[in-house]
Amino acid sequence: MSDISTQVMSNSGTEETSTKGLMKVIMASSVGTLIEWYDFYIYGAMATTIAKQFFPQDNPTAAFLAALATFAAGFVVRPFGALVFGRIGDLIGRKYTFLLTLLLMGGSTFAIGLIPGYAKIGIWAPILILLLRFVQGLALGGEYGGAATYVAEHSPVKRRGYYTAYIQTTATLGFFLSLGVILTTRKVMGVEAFNDWGWRLPFIVSIFLIAISVYIRLRMAESPLFAKIKKEGKISANPLKESFAHKTNLKMVLLALFAAVMGQGVVWYTGQFYAQTFIERTLSIEFEQVRYLLCIAILAVTPFFLVFGAWSDKIGRKTIMMGGMLLAILTYRPIYKAMYHLADPKAKTEIAENSSVSKAVAVAATGDSTITTTTVKAFTDGSSSKVVKKETILADKSKPAPKAETTKTFWLSSFGFWMMTLFVFIQILYVTMVYGPIAAFLVELFPTRIRYTSMSLPYHIGNGIFGGLTPFIATRLVDASKTTENPGGDPYVGLWYPILIASVCFVLGMLFLPSKNDENVMD
Amino acid sequence: MNSLKRLSGFLWILLGVAVVYLMARQAGTEIAAATKANKAVLDTKMFWYIIIPIFTPIMLGLCLFGWYAWKGEYDQIARDSEHLV
């Protein structure tokens, strides 16, 4: 079995071979990290389906919020994972730590695919889901810092931003992979079977992906810098104490969190996740159209992680990260208004002859009847909408009538689809600006002996908490703005959360962050 | 620039305290309103029971950051990670 890191070290005599060896290190690290992100995000990508399977259905908003809360739970424990596994990584090494996180992540994702629904085991279903989300969050908290540190510690000084940007692409590509697997499964088995049990397959598939990744990672050797300080007996005896009890280092942890990662986190999760929530829930765009447009936007924008990572080696990390944050702050509201306009039936002209209203009545054995009214509308720009209203009339008139259920679906026109894709692309482009250089930025901020612990904590508070809670908080803000006069609420009010957080971070970053990169990570 | 950094430290301390206060006040108002109307009580409580314990320690961190800035600890950012520990 050949050893990837040893190749890098021993072949460092020539630029060409060391670059080749380095690419092997990057690929070996990235595949595992990508699969961990896949595992983490399939839950988010199927939040609506999961809400129906594992949570009480009396109130769909409550079910959706509960599912989002469970999704958020995965994010909230990430800083604890960063502490636990960061410490292990600084004590025993990078390689075995992120092998362990990979196994934990794969095992818990596989188990989610096997849990019976709420209808079968009642309250145990959401409890088990919550516990497994905790394990996923802990594992992810330990993974990213290890992978970024591992790659950075192999990279040449002037190309650190570029090479670590490969690790940065994994989060977006992991999300892409999760969407791709979901779409393919749904297409192959049909919508009904997918909603019934097929949604479990993307979770179960994870076990095979993890097996491949474990095989690749077993071939990796320890990071050369960590191996060097271990040989010299310079390993930290207590990384947690050194990272957070020493003022000089704690200051840098706080700086990293409030002046960089906090804003980066909200920009990332707004572009990639709140955009999806907004398109799917507020605009009611059809399931497959949403996933197709997200996949296209993600695939088109991914190379920009490398572009901005490489650029940050030349002009500095700060300029690019702060530039991305400022663009997001200034343009989020116009972008979301334009997105809303694309799917607003009130702004369109209806073609009366292609529109229809149909009614169907079904009577159950109990005597209760369900009236289903389907209203289909076609518009001159090629878009269309369908509203299905289900009203139940109880045979027993003394009981209160249940609330009518309304489901709206909107199909974008071809032009609307591509414009919507462009708006998502722009938002993820901001993500590439703020996220592409951040691994190199964090690695350069801390010394080798406590790097894993020190960089992981601010990263996971910024991304896991400030970022990860973005869809949860923004959806809650929109719900809170609903009134009797305006039952739909203010669709843009949720954006104030990322805008305000990114604004504070931008001011802090401009004031406090150094403009030049620290070239020395060999300490 | 350094005096601006120091002065802004006071602003970050104030911001941290204000966010904790506003969260607590908003939670009280919303939970009371939901209980009175007997509508979405669990949802409202769940939201605030998640948000307050998570963001309060982070805001204390922001206050600490502000305190360090106020004391001039960020006047010279370490240019090399060797100078950190």
Query: What rounded mean pLDDT belongs to chain A?
Result: 85
What is the reported pTM?
0.86
The pLDDT assigned to A500 comes to 97
Q: Distance between CA atoms of A264 and A317, rounded to whole angstroms?
A: 12
Q: How confident is the model at residue B80 (pLDDT cuts 50, 70, 90)?
A: low
Q: Which member of B5, B15, B84 has the closest CB to residue A248? A: B84
Residue A266 within any structural domain of the chain: yes
A90 and A219 in a single domain? The answer is: yes
The pLDDT assigned to A156 comes to 85
Is there a contact between A245 and A251 (Cβ–Cβ < 8 Å)?
Answer: no
A261 and A399 in a single domain? The answer is: no
Domain boundary among A370, A387, A409: A409
Is there a contact between A195 and A53 (Cβ–Cβ < 8 Å)?
Answer: no
pLDDT in tens, B5-19: 999 999 999 999 999
Angle between helices A124-152 and A47-54 (to 10 degrees): 150
pLDDT in tens, B21-77: 999 999 999 999 888 888 777 778 888 888 899 999 999 999 999 999 999 999 877
Q: Distance between CA atoms of A257 and A237, rounded to whole angstroms?
A: 25
pLDDT in tens, A429-448: 999 999 999 999 988 888 87
Distance from CA of B55 to the nearest CA of A (A): 9
The pLDDT assigned to B11 comes to 95
Q: Is A171 on the interface with B (CB under 8 A)?
A: no
Query: Which residues span the domain enclosing A400?
Result: 352-409
Residue A368 within any structural domain of the chain: yes
Specify burial of residue A416 (Cβ count, 10 A radius: 0-12, 13-18, 19+): buried
Mean pLDDT for A272-292 is 91
User: Which residues of A33-174 form beta strands (DSSP E)?
Assistant: none
The pLDDT assigned to A17 comes to 41
Mean pLDDT for A157-185 is 89
Q: In B, which residues are within 8 Å of A504 by CB distance?
A: 15
A130 and A62 in a single domain? The answer is: yes
Q: Distance between CA atoms of A273 and A282, rounded to whole angstroms?
A: 13
The pLDDT assigned to A8 comes to 46
In whole angstroms, how far apart are CA A359 and each of A297, A372, A373, B6? Answer: 39, 6, 5, 69
Q: How confident is the model at residue A67 (pLDDT cuts 50, 70, 90)?
A: low
Residue A522 within any structural domain of the chain: no
Choose the most confident range, by mean pLDDT, from A66-70, A93-97, A397-401, A497-501.
A497-501
Angle between helices A438-445 and A160-189 (to 10 degrees): 130
Residue A224 within any structural domain of the chain: yes
User: Amino acid letter at A351?
Assistant: I
The pLDDT assigned to A9 comes to 43
Domain boundary among A409, A427, A457: A409
Give the CATH number of the domain where residue A124 resides.
1.20.1250.20
Is there a contact between A153 and A521 (Cβ–Cβ < 8 Å)?
Answer: yes
The pLDDT assigned to A388 comes to 93
The pLDDT assigned to A412 comes to 95
A499 and A358 in a single domain? The answer is: no
What the block records as the tokens of A519 is: 């070239």
Contact B83 A512 (CB under 8 A): no
A398 and A425 in a single domain? The answer is: no
The pLDDT assigned to A367 comes to 81
A138 and A200 in a single domain? The answer is: yes
The pLDDT assigned to A424 comes to 97
Q: Distance between CA atoms of A137 and A69, rounded to whole angstroms?
A: 13
The pLDDT assigned to A62 comes to 61
CB atoms within 10 A of CB B46: 15
Mean pLDDT for A315-336 is 96
CA nearest to A515 within chain B: B79
Give the CA diameter of chain B.
59
A462 and A502 in a single domain? The answer is: yes
A165 and A237 in a single domain? The answer is: yes
Q: How confident is the model at residue A11 (pLDDT cuts 50, 70, 90)?
A: very low
Which of A52-56, A105-109, A190-194 has the weakest average pLDDT? A52-56
A189 and A88 in a single domain? The answer is: yes
Mean pLDDT for A298-318 is 94
Q: Distance between CA atoms of B13 and A277, rounded to whole angstroms?
A: 34
pLDDT in tens, A459-486: 989 988 999 889 888 988 888 888 888 8
Q: At A516, phi and psi to the nearest 5?
A: -95, 150
A439 and A498 in a single domain? The answer is: yes
Q: How confident is the model at residue A413 (pLDDT cuts 50, 70, 90)?
A: very high
Angle between helices A60-76 and A47-54 (to 10 degrees): 110
Contact B74 A61 (CB under 8 A): no
Residue A319 within any structural domain of the chain: yes
What the block records as the tokens of A80 is: 């604890």
Q: A457 pLDDT exceeds 50? A: yes
Is there a contact between A366 and A374 (Cβ–Cβ < 8 Å)?
Answer: no
Q: In B, which residues are within 8 Å of A246 by CB distance?
A: 85
Q: How confident is the model at residue A300 (pLDDT cuts 50, 70, 90)?
A: very high
Q: A75 pLDDT exceeds 90? A: no
Pairing of strands A384-393, A369-378: antiparallel
Contact B50 A69 (CB under 8 A): yes
Cβ neighbors of A416 (< 8 A, separation 6 or more) are: A342, A343, A381, A382, A383
Domain boundary among A389, A409, A429: A409
Q: Distance between CA atoms of A86 and A103, rounded to whole angstroms?
A: 16
CB atoms within 10 A of CB A492: 18
Residue A54 within any structural domain of the chain: yes
User: Amino acid letter at A142?
Assistant: G
In chain A, the number of structural domains is 2
A386 and A507 in a single domain? The answer is: no
Residue A167 within any structural domain of the chain: yes
Choose the most confident range, by mean pLDDT, from A54-58, A146-150, A419-423.
A419-423
Residue A249 within any structural domain of the chain: yes
CA nearest to A509 within chain B: B5
End-to-end CA distance of chain B: 26
A392 and A477 in a single domain? The answer is: no
Which of A71-75, A373-377, A380-384 has the weakest average pLDDT? A71-75
